[in-house]
Structure 1
Amino acid sequence: MPRLSLRTKLLIAFLVVLLPLLALIVYGYTVSYKQRSEDIMDEQVRTSQAIGALVDASIDDALAVAWSFSKDPIVRTMDSRQIDPYLESLATSLPQYDSLAVLDSEGNSVGLSLRPPPGAPRPGATGRPYFQALKSTHQPAISDVLISRATGNPTVAVVVPMLDDSGALMGATVAALDLDYLAQRVETIGVRPSQGIFLSDTQGTMVFHTLLAREEWGQRSLADYPPVQTALGGAPARIREMKGLSGDERIVSATRTPKYAWVVGVSTPVAVALAPLQDTLRYSLLFLSGAIVFSGGLAILLAEFLVRPLRQLTRSAVALGKGERQAVEIHTGDELEQLAGAFTWMADAVSDKEAQLRGHAQQLNQEVQERVTAQRQLEQVNHELEAFSYSVSHDLRAPLRAIDGFSHAVLEDYADKLDEEGKQYLQRMCAASKRMERLIDDLLKLSRITRAELRREEVDLSAMAQEITAELRDRQPEREVQLVVTPRLVADGDPRLLRVVLENLLSNAWKFTSKHPRARIELGVTEHEGKPAYFVRDDGAGFDMAYAEKLFGAFQRLHSAEEFPGTGIGLATVQRIINRHGGRIWAEGAVDEGATFYFTLQA
């Protein structure tokens, strides 16, 4: 990392002081941006709701118009010569409709306010989905966006059934909403000049858009447009920034009309909405730039004032490092002068300490050599102890095997020559040699555990306990023992050594409950002095708490070997493993009421 001069550090310090101001400006802009966006979205939601009410009212008006002239006697004659003039006259007072029409029961035109040219077919609705819906339900229907065959304008047809006295369909009346006229009315409802208004039907088809060409009306699906998707689901859409239908970045809001479930959307260009905030940000950054220039100049002047005496101190320090005593003369009347005085005192003290340090260094070197020698001796002793353990194991096992082997041979080959007392003596010799061999194994295991390297990792005690208890069940499948293991018990330790701990504790619990026809053994965790304490609990023979301290000593047994077999090494081994993990083990129990062994591990 390159070294920075004091002048550079001071300049950086002044700039860092200005960072909170920059952060405050950015934070203020962010908060204002969010609030401004929320206000605009709220306003757009209110606007879209007002437009939605207008759209629903327009459809209701169209239904009312269609219903009104469907009941007219002239219309019900189904005579084109009478109906056409009537509709032409009626349409002059209803500019919001592109056309008015009367259809027969098959959707053929029998009356039209805009007559087609001579020889041209009269436009009908046969096969149109909206007419088929009316025909099957005898209920009013609303079409998708249609292009008027008479005027070429985009329209939405509102169709009302005409029923005869028997209730049969005799035809339908049509009021075709002029979408140009509807869009013009929408723009009068408090819409800002830069805002765009769009309307889609219940299927997401665009009915109109004030910023798009009329040729796109009714030809474009908005079903996948996020604001329309949200509004069709019933919730108001509020999107802070997205690409609008007109291609620029916009704040978009949309709501569903309350009655006919069409979607009204209002959008505002982001650039227009945030223009006041961007002007404020621009002025704030200009002010900050001026503050940076001023602070930088002030930092340079202050650095020059501080650096001059510090250079003199540096030269004196270099000279002191070379063993030269050089006085420091600084008269600034401030902390720098005090620093110079302290430096002079330090130079005098350094000489006195050098002699002391040399003596201490010699003494330290001597202690290090002694520790190295002691370490080597300890390693040699450990090596010899390991060799001795192997030798003892080998040398003791050989005669034990001989005693065991010859005892079995005498029992097998001379059984007919021995009385029962002699056979019993030989059997006791075999059992004693077996116990001695197990004792040697446990002693060697205890010795290895003391010297083994500790390798910590995450250990799943629950899974380990399940494996051990499964092995115990396999050995004595006839026993009825309820084994309860708390799931997901995880500890940090050596998995090999922790398995030895659980094997000893669970095996002891299994052994000391063997006199009960039904037993219960539990592995769980509790809290002790703010740390997790794991425990193994049983309802077996238990022990007298007066002898609790003897439990973890080697060869210490509270029960006879005839009652409960064992060497008395297991709990001593467990205690050494727990001690190596920086933890503690203790037990609680009562005679014939079971025992609980707790242990902790250092995190």
Structure 2
Amino acid sequence: MSAPPPAPLHATSETGDPPPRQAASLRRLRIAVWAAFALLVGIIIIVSVSLIRYDREQALRRADSELLSLTRVLEEHVARCFGETEAAVSEIAAQVARQGSIDSLGEAALQSLLRQRAANLPEAEFLFVEREDGSLAADSSPPDRQGVEPREGALHTPAMPHQLSEGVDIGSPLKSPLSGRWITPLTRQIFDASGKYLGTAGAAISHPYFEGVYKELQLAQKDTIMILHVNRASLLIHHPPADALIGSSVAGSPAISLDLRQRSSIVTATLPGGPEERITAYRRLADRPLIVSTSRPVADALADYHAHRERIITAAGVMTTLLAALALLLHQDTRRRDADRQTLAELNASLEERVRRRTEELEHSNRELLNFSYSVSHDLRAPLRAINGFSHALEEDYGQKIDDTGREYLARLRKASLRMGELIDELQKLASVSRHTLRIEQTDVSAIAQDILDDLAAVNQGRHVQAHVEPGLTADADPTLIRNALENLLGNAWKFTRDSHPPIIHVGGRPHGAEKLFYVTDNGIGFDMEHANKLFQPFQQLHKREGFEGSGIGLASVRRIIERHGGTVWAESSPGAGTTMFFTLPRSPALVRRPREKLQG
């Protein structure tokens, strides 16, 4: 890569001090660079935080929805399980009631009936019938079982019921006398035709049965299912097994006070027996005093969110680092220019030989600065290409493994890298204006302007702009740079007249003392002259909020081009009344230079 040509040395005042407006301009540029950096970093942080918050909310919503769906499926399992068991118990109670007494059936027939019904109830560990005094009449256990005496109740708790009632009662959980595992008794009192209490028929709902339900629901490792008794405010069933919690009180649970009309609710809180915060979905059965629930730790529900958050933070960090590097380089560049100008000012006050020698050193320094600035802009493309390339490769190779949110992040990352590449292109264009060697020749300004307008009309065939270029406009100038300036001026006029009816653009000129005056006028949106001092500054856009896109570099390039020719550029406008852009060029090639008074101005 060849080094760019050196820029002309800046002039100093008669006292040897650098022009105050030049120093102030560089200070303003540094302030603008860091202000832009702070603004961009603020935007990155705000967008990143918003995306992270949005991701977290979405992850929690997905977990809520999934747990509610699992709870509905669990509700169907529990309703079927208890429904089948209640039906079998009720049928047994009805057959005993028709006989008039429990002993009328005979122990063998009663036991056969119980075993026959138990064979079709995988959820019931055993069925049983107790006499009115609470002693065991028969159960569905195998003939060789041991451990229950004939006069004991099936659940080791023979006793007359405290209250006679019809219907099925769901009791408190206890350990099975047969297997030693947790069961929940389900009983129905038996009455004969005259209403006399005969005894109790019941079933022992097996808690281990719900291990199969747990597997069928395909719950995660740390997910839990629970069945609560509403009337007793106690925990009936818990899986994975937790002996310390079975039968414990859940009176403080929000599920107990659940509105019957609502039936479902989602609660995020810590549960008894564990310190971690969990998301719990509750659903009340419509025809039984039971509540089923599924629970998942918040940390597990946010597992994907944490991975997405790391990617967002990494992308934001990369972009912030690149912006910081660019801002620091621009800051250092302006500081070095300040130092070089101060050095030149001091040397110009000393001997002529030292002035000549130091001037050569400054020329070399400026050459290095321009080369450095060009190299920085060029070298910044490598990490941007890497970001864009790897993000594209990630989407192509792993697109099936990434969800829609992840693909959206990749698209935003590529868009941001492309935008930064465009900004670097504009910076290089701005720098190329200073590096370009002036080749002064007779230039047909009218032909160049008409050619640019024809190109704009060809690209925007749907627009009908009344454009007029005065014939015979010529100047001694570099045609390449003049075309660049006119492309920016006419492009702006074309852009800012989009809402005018009809849009009008006029290019003209006239003598202006020792110079030639040219102007481009339009009837576009215009601007307040209070902001005219920002118009030719890099990255300054007066109409960005109105939807007029741009990089903020165009008019800064125009100003450099005209000043390199020894001319000046300014604007006259008012809101809604259009804008006129003026620039002057010397009449003679000998006058194409940078006069000291123009630099100081």
Normalising to structure 2: TM-score of the pair?
0.47
Structure possessing the higher radius of gyration over alpha carbons? 1
Larger proportion of helix: 1
Higher relative contact order (CA 8 A, sep 6+): 2
